[in-house]
Amino acid sequence: MEIEFIPLDALKEDKIYIKAIGLIRGVKVDYSTAKHISFSVQGDENVHNVMYFTEKPASKKWQCDCKWYTLQNKTCSHIIAVNLAIKKKLIKLEGED
């Protein structure tokens, strides 16, 4: 599956980016289908569920179940952590060697 990453460069000065770096090691793939990948991210207290949808418009491709994302509809530290974990190849996506 082709992953469209969120534009991380624009977020590098952001507090949530710093927070995300601390979460990278807690990222896991729950399951993936042809059009969807579900990740879990161990946060400070709770595990959050981050989802990627290939066929949704850019602003809806990455979603999270945390309050920050749900209430403000902004990219949260969990979504950034998943993006970073994939880029750094810390998690393996199906179909990749």
Minimum CB distance to Zn ion, residue 25 (Å):
16
Q: Which of 78, 81, 83, 86 binds Zn ion (CB under 5 A)?
A: 78
Choose the stretch contacting Zn ion; rule: CB under 5 A; options: 17-25, 26-34, 53-61, 73-81: 73-81
What is the spatial distance between Cα 22 and Cα 26, in angstroms, rounded to a whole number? Answer: 9
Most distant CA pair in the chain, distance: 37
23 lies in the site for Zn ion, by CB under 5 A? no
Closest CA relative to residue 44, chosen from 22, 13, 64: 22
CB 53 within 8 A of CB 61: yes
76 lies in the site for Zn ion, by CB under 5 A? yes
Binding interface with Zn ion (CB under 5 A):
48, 64, 66, 69, 76, 78
